[in-house]
Amino acid sequence: MPTPPEPLPPARHGTLRGAAIARRLDPTSLRLFRAAVEERSIAAAAEREAIALSAASRRIVELEERLGAALLRRHDRGVTPTAAGEALMTHLVGLFDLFDRIGADMDAFAAGERGHVRLHANMSAVSGFLPEALAGFLPAHPGIRLTLEERYSADILRAVASGAADLGLVSGTLPAEGLHVIPWRDDRLVVVLPEGHALVGRGELALADLDGVPFVGQSEETALQKFYRARAAAQGVALNERVNVSGFDGVRRMVEAGLGVAILPATAAQPYAAAMRIALRPLAEPWAARPLVIVTRAAQTLSAAARVLIAHLTRPPG
């Protein structure tokens, strides 16, 4: 037969509520309580937290006094949480996560910035502005480890929302519900033409000029593909997609081979134009200035290292 739970000692200072309770709590006692629940034993909790058993028992009793409720049922096999103890445990997950972030932030600053940032970026960012921006960041912050993955914009939004990525660089044309959006760069769209194409003689091209012209498209998943398809449909323009490829390099090579024309961000086309048999013409549409944005979760969830990277990326050029 398990022994009955020990009666709760009377509160020495009266029962406190709300903010008054929060002021009387301390992280060490809360960690001991959590360890006792997880280990089902105050003795095991004391060993895990490297504190004397008598001191651990006293701290948990004092915690119960301050809260005015029994948190543990004590029996000959150890301890189990009461209903009040289970309720407290639900709050401790988020609380200790906050404590850990505070500690990581302070460690990062105290040690001269250290940490790990998971950055997901779309093809436009990776092939355009991002390499140069990161080239200056990494040598200046050797204590920060950066993991960069190229993903489609829609996948990046999901990764940031779920916590799988700390920061995302995506097309600003997509809705980013529930995320914090920071404007980053604008990249104009251009028409990429094979050398000698009939449209090369034009100074600039509108989307209507591409009606029915053989066209090199991208993967169905890219934000750019969805974007210009929607614009073409709205304007009644038929894009004659002869071939679709997954990356900007494939698009450039298909255009060079004469399989069609394409629409690409200027940063994904201009650096290669001189070395390839392709020509570029401005896309004369009001929506041709395509924004790239940084997306994050709530600012308070970001580590110091992630905030350092954002500050670097958003610093004015020069």
pTM of the entire structure?
0.58
Average pLDDT (139-152) is 89
Please write the tens of the pLDDT for every residue from 55-72. Answer: 999 999 998 888 888 999
* Average pLDDT across the chain, whole number: 86
Residues 74 and 61: their CA atoms lie apart, in Å, by 12
Is the model's pLDDT at 3 over the cut of 50?
no
pLDDT at 7 over 60: no
More confident residue, 98 or 196: 196
For residues 30-44, average pLDDT: 91
Predicted confidence band at 291 (pLDDT cuts at 50, 70, 90)? confident
- Domains of the chain from N-terminus onward: 18-110 (1.10.10.10), 123-179+296-313 (no CATH), 185-290 (3.40.190.10)
pLDDT digit string, tens, across residues 222-279: 888 888 889 999 999 999 999 999 889 999 999 999 999 999 999 889 989 999 999 9
